[in-house]
Amino acid sequence: MCKPFSYLVQNGQGHVPFLEMTFAGILQDTIRVSPKLSVAVGTRYYWQNHFHEVKHDAAPRLDLAYAPWQKGKTVLRGGAGIFFDRTGPTPISDLLHFNGVTLRRYLVLNPSYPATSTEVAATPTSVVTLDPRAIIPYTVQFGFGLEQQITKDSSLTLNYVGSRRIDMFRSIDANAPLPPLLAARPNPSLGRNRLIQSEGYQKSNSLQIGFQGHPVSFFTGQAQYTLGTSEELPEAQPMG
């Protein structure tokens, strides 16, 4: 007969209202340096009312467009910018719910079947906590490319896009039993302590080939092909 590995039970207040406020604004200007070169510079400001003192940041960005020849059929483009993510309601909701008081969660390991009330009563509550060093995740994105006009109404593009997602959210059990025995939790007054950290990192690179326009009288459309790679270390938790 199979024995269950764990038994999870919750009790308390499941409805916890909270106000998530975010504000963002962007300031941008395009400067025509010469007939061949234009530059767009700007910054985006982000603010939110949760996550302690880490509430706001300014994210600069820069874009360039350069047409090396007079007719302007070939355009070289490049740019880079910083983009801050929104936390979304899920991490905030978990922190407010599973604080050890509002909604108590008990994870009983190797329970009997069915699990008894005595086993649940002897199990300390599990919590969700926030790493005091946690910050809002952000992405650094950069790229450059070539746009070539083929006919009067159609063009071909070739672009490289790279991005680095930094300080992504991930969760660990900060009160997990320690090796080598894995017998007891470091803090016996708590069960699982799901600690939300800003430790995730994702690196991606892609090459994009695209076509759009009206090359012949009977066809109008666009097509794009992307070849990319992505690597994520360590495993990150979606923000919800």
Domain ranges of the chain: 6-12+81-233
Q: Read off the pLDDT of residues 206-231 as tens digits, 9 standing for 90 and up.
A: 999 999 887 777 778 889 999 999 99
Cβ of 40: how many Cβ atoms within 10 Å? 14
User: Whole-model pTM?
Assistant: 0.78
Bridge partners (DSSP) listed for residue 15: none
Give the least confident one: 126-140, 199-213, 222-236.
Answer: 222-236
Written as six digits, the tokens of 97 are 């719910």
Q: What are the DSSP E strand ranges found in 110-192?
A: 127-130, 138-151, 154-173
| Spatial separation of the C-alpha atoms in residues 80 and 63, rounded to whole Å | 7
Q: Read off the pLDDT of residues 18-62 as tens digits, 9 standing for 90 and up.
A: 998 888 899 999 999 998 999 999 999 888 887 654 455 789 999
Specify the 3-state DSSP secondary structure of 20. coil
Q: What are the DSSP E strand ranges found in the chain?
A: 6-12, 22-34, 37-48, 56-66, 74-84, 103-109, 127-130, 138-151, 154-173, 193-216, 219-233
Bridge partners (DSSP) listed for residue 30: 40
